[in-house]
Structure 1
């Protein structure tokens, strides 16, 4: 009886971190604006499949409407299908992998091994951040408090390596000293819950925002910083390879790299289209980076209603002095930047809502499923493709990921018994023909020679 009780308490204790994680996420998404969506828009296999002998592991990420996290799923919602390469141009038919026969493990986001998360917070340091928001809170203070809340939430409820760097940005002047963003500034990562991070935020809050808004320059520098192929924190033993030159074994899952851009203004340094094209090119070269954006202020529609324009406010209204410059937030730009990487774009003039959005970003980063299965053939050196299909909870339609290719290594599954017997027989026959028979005839020749 005592052993049973001990085992029961041990089991309960092992589940406490998972329950805490789930309950914490339920808390932050309880409000309607944070509800998880039921309609799946995209299924993606992250990185390359991991191969160990004949066992293959894939990490799967789902995207719902507006790139928000999808409601929790069960193994029954998932389908795996694989096919084998027969020749350079020929493949076998897709073969559905039945759970009972091929699946080894299925892990929800709560159970899957969490990869390291590296987050850069680009915090608008423009003069308009001194203005008060809808609740009468100074925007810069509201933004700092939001990061504080995120730090507390992540440190108290989540396990794993989550590192964040908070970097104020803007164009300074004679009366506004602000250090230009460089790799040293971007690399000031601290783990969530670290007292140094708390102290840094306290000191940052004492500063008075005064710069002009330059959104593209700091963003491009942050992307280049994350794209350093020699930094093992961001690219641990992995490279993005083509389908023709894919990697067969990967030692570690790719870490999550995220840039959180928080701004209450618009880019006023010019060359918008050129800058946008450069951002797209940089992100095209590193598809592992996710950009989430937070617009802190009234939406163009709300601003149009405030000034009774009968339409959404736009940047031209600033030049005509119809709308105050410090009130306009470029929602279109923030939406476009998030859309490039499949990130989330949120907007609010309320400090509390801004604070609630950040855990949602983290949920989107960590919402990965993990499936390990046995390859149907397990033939050494053979090449295969895998697809993951999900039944969307809302539409009940099957949505498949793009196929990912992998190769069974030379240390794959042992050959079948029949094949091994054939090999043994051929080996003995070869030894007999190539070894015994020559000695037999040589002996006959010696006897004849003696006679």
Structure 2
């Protein structure tokens, strides 16, 4: 897939479903549709063909969000880092420079609309990468020894996907530091997450120690219980304390603040259920207070609905009331502990949504690797550079981005307004027409000053010859 397009794939399952012995709990088809022939409302080859053709038809990825993620100023030049996201929070690539407009105001409040060639737009692939810190929280609970729908052990699938993510970062030579943070507790192979373990594990993506750490983790006979909230809380607090937020996007050393991301990879749910809603609310409040940190979540395993359908449940649980506790307490899998297959989709989704991150729920190792590739695209953004009209030292200019790209399904999409504060020191390079008179004047003054000196020097020489 090229970076100039995003394709959406639809899959239709025509396989014969496995028999479900829990027949009494199945939802029955409406009588009006039962037993229909080819000419009725039921299945027919014509309908099947139409469905296939519809699924194969290209569908544009509609952008729903454009955001000025961060900004910096040098003299009167402004640099904006801009994200363009679809409705799944996935970056949209391949937009042309002509699609972007900068709407800003000068120091007198007069509006200005800038577009190419007044602005320069660098694509995510061309933009200057920014220092980024990525903390990868890896679930090491006992359920990771289970096999996914492709019969791959989940721990192997997760480790290989993380390895692929690191290789992508290295291939692009991005300034990214990565901390692989295993978590899980309650057995001989427990992993407590503390400030020290997070900091000690941070290494440059090119550091071979990351590969060695992954090799060691892949050999662990996982057995721990899943505690999601404590490791996530500790990681967010660490990043907040190490890189305090700044409204100007510039730290005390006049360097742009780094991007901060967390990737939470888990195949389970938070096992400490006593007062779980309050625990979760505390996590959400912490994330809201630290909006500079983006959390992407990856729930590795089958959906609750799929798990319910293949389990034996004491009563039928409709989709709109399907929860972790209902499945854990009301269903069972013959020969297996059903809790080892439960993924808390709702909690993981809300965690990502709160921070503007991406949430993915892959069921096999290949899909996990694709999800991490999607997360990788968030490391780059569009970069817009322009000269701020009517600026002066420390002036503030309300600015927003507008995008129009009808062929990509984007029509007048605007960002929220960001107040751009100019540098305390403004230096403006003079144009050639401004420099030319100064050059002529300088030469004239030089000649006027030098000619008398030359005449005086000749006169002295003549006098000395006498």
Q: What TM-score do the two structures reach when normalised by structure 1? A: 0.75
Which one of the candidate residues 138, 153, 174 is aligned to 2:153?
138
Partner of 2:366: 352
In structure 2, runs of 5+ residues without a counterpart are: 11-57, 431-466
Residues 214 and 26 from structure 1, CA distance in 2 versus in 1: closer, same or farther, beyond 3 angstroms? farther
Report the Cα distance in structure 1 between the residues aligned to 2:135 and 2:251, rounded to whole angstroms: 31
Q: Does 1:305 align with 2:306?
A: no
Partner of 1:437: none
Partner of 1:15: none
Partner of 1:57: 79
In the TM superposition, 1:328-347 aligns within 5 A as 328-347=342-361
Alpha-carbon shift at residue 251 of structure 1 (Å):
3.4
Contact 1:124 1:264 in 2 (8 A): yes
Alpha-carbon displacement from aligned partner over 1:328-364 (angstroms, at most 9, x marks no partner): 1111111111111111111122111111211210102
Q: Does 1:240 align with 2:240?
A: no
Alpha-carbon shift at residue 285 of structure 1 (Å):
2.5
Aligned residue pairs total: 371
Moved more, 389-398 or 305-314: 305-314
Partner of 2:61: 38
Which one of the candidate residues 58, 61, 71 is aligned to 2:93?
71
Residues 153 and 59 from structure 1, CA distance in 2 versus in 1: closer, same or farther, beyond 3 angstroms? closer
Q: Does 1:370 align with 2:383?
A: yes
Contact 1:45 1:388 in 2 (8 A): yes
Partner of 2:143: 128
Report the Cα distance in structure 1 between the residues aligned to 2:251 and 2:138, rounded to whole angstroms: 40
Q: Does 1:318 align with 2:296?
A: no
Where 1:59 maps in the other structure, the secondary structure is strand
Q: Does 1:83 align with 2:105?
A: yes
Report the Cα distance in structure 1 between the residues aligned to 2:141 and 2:429, rounded to whole angstroms: 67
Report the Cα distance in structure 2 between the residues aligned to 1:202 and 1:406, rounded to whole angstroms: 46
Partner of 1:96: 113
Which one of the candidate residues 236, 240, 252 is aligned to 2:255?
252
Partner of 2:205: 192
Partner of 1:208: 221
Report the Cα distance in structure 1 between the residues aligned to 2:310 and 2:174, rounded to whole angstroms: 45
In the TM superposition, 1:145-294 aligns within 5 A as 145-155=160-170, 157-173=171-187, 176-187=188-199, 188-228=201-241, 231=242, 234=243, 239-240=246-247, 251-270=254-273, 271-294=275-298
Where 2:361 maps in the other structure, the secondary structure is strand
Q: Which segments of structure 1 move beyond 6 Å, counting only runs of 4 or more? A: 246-250
RMSD value over aligned CA atoms? Answer: 3.0
Alpha-carbon displacement from aligned partner over 1:427-449 (angstroms, at most 9, x marks no partner): xxxxxxxxxxxxxxxxxxxxxxx
Report the Cα distance in structure 2 between the residues aligned to 1:301 and 1:259, rounded to whole angstroms: 27
Residues 373 and 191 from structure 1, CA distance in 2 versus in 1: closer, same or farther, beyond 3 angstroms? same
Alpha-carbon shift at residue 272 of structure 1 (Å):
2.4
Q: What TM-score do the two structures reach when normalised by structure 2? A: 0.72
Report the Cα distance in structure 1 between the residues aligned to 2:307 and 2:251, rounded to whole angstroms: 53
Residues 216 and 36 from structure 1, CA distance in 2 versus in 1: closer, same or farther, beyond 3 angstroms? farther
- Which structure exhibits the higher relative contact order, with contacts defined as CA atoms closer than 8 Å and separated by 6 or more residues? 1
Report the Cα distance in structure 2 between the residues aligned to 1:224 and 1:392, rounded to whole angstroms: 40
Contact 2:137 2:262 in 1 (8 A): yes
Contact 1:390 1:400 in 2 (8 A): yes
Alpha-carbon shift at residue 62 of structure 1 (Å):
1.5
Where 2:378 maps in the other structure, the secondary structure is helix
Alpha-carbon shift at residue 68 of structure 1 (Å):
1.0
Report the Cα distance in structure 2 between the residues aligned to 1:335 and 1:31, rounded to whole angstroms: 20
Residues 74 and 252 from structure 1, CA distance in 2 versus in 1: closer, same or farther, beyond 3 angstroms? farther
Residues 296 and 408 from structure 1, CA distance in 2 versus in 1: closer, same or farther, beyond 3 angstroms? closer
Moved more, 301-310 or 113-122: 301-310
Contact 1:262 1:295 in 2 (8 A): yes
Residues 414 and 37 from structure 1, CA distance in 2 versus in 1: closer, same or farther, beyond 3 angstroms? same
Alpha-carbon displacement from aligned partner over 1:5-44 (angstroms, at most 9, x marks no partner): xxxxxxxxxxxxxxxxx96x689x77838x9963111111
In the TM superposition, 1:394-413 aligns within 5 A as 394-409=408-423, 411-412=425-426
Alpha-carbon shift at residue 225 of structure 1 (Å):
0.7
Report the Cα distance in structure 1 between the residues aligned to 2:189 and 2:114, rounded to whole angstroms: 61
Residues 98 and 298 from structure 1, CA distance in 2 versus in 1: closer, same or farther, beyond 3 angstroms? closer
Alpha-carbon shift at residue 409 of structure 1 (Å):
4.1
